[in-house]
Amino acid sequence: VKSGLCKRALVQLSYAIGVAKPLSLFVETYGTEQGTLDADDITNVIKIAFDCRPGAIAQSLALREPKYQETAAYCHFGREPYTNKGGIKFFEWENSKDLSKYKGMTPAQVTAELAGSNYLTKWVD
């Protein structure tokens, strides 16, 4: 949404116990796509840009760094992300990934980029 691919989105992931990769990914844009990409193309963009294996999520959001005191108070969401002097990242989940390069692509270009990516190492397909 922030990168301008659509104005509104619902993203659903499903997992199974003991399976590291998400079993399914569903994206609903409610018809608010901005440009030539439809919801299926935006789903492919997510497969290219994100690694949603549980370990990868924990690493990208810096969830294994001890910081419970600061994140437990005054809500987990809507806070400004920052890194302290010790290098520990706080509220990393508030940083959005820039996907604006996909906004100008055609569906064929997204499909070609998906085929050339390593998405099968990150997703069950």
pLDDT tens for 26-80 read 999 999 999 899 999 999 999 999 998 988 888 887 777 777 667 777 777 777 7
Three-state SS for 47?
helix
pLDDT in tens, 77-98: 777 787 888 887 777 777 788 8
What pLDDT is recorded for position 61? 77
- What pairs with residue 11 in β-bridges? 27
3-state helix, strand, coil in the chain (%, to 5): 35, 15, 55
How much is the pTM?
A: 0.76
By DSSP bridging, strand 89-90 and strand 10-14 are unpaired
What pLDDT is recorded for position 125? 58
Query: Which of residues 4 and 92 earns the better pLDDT score?
Result: 4
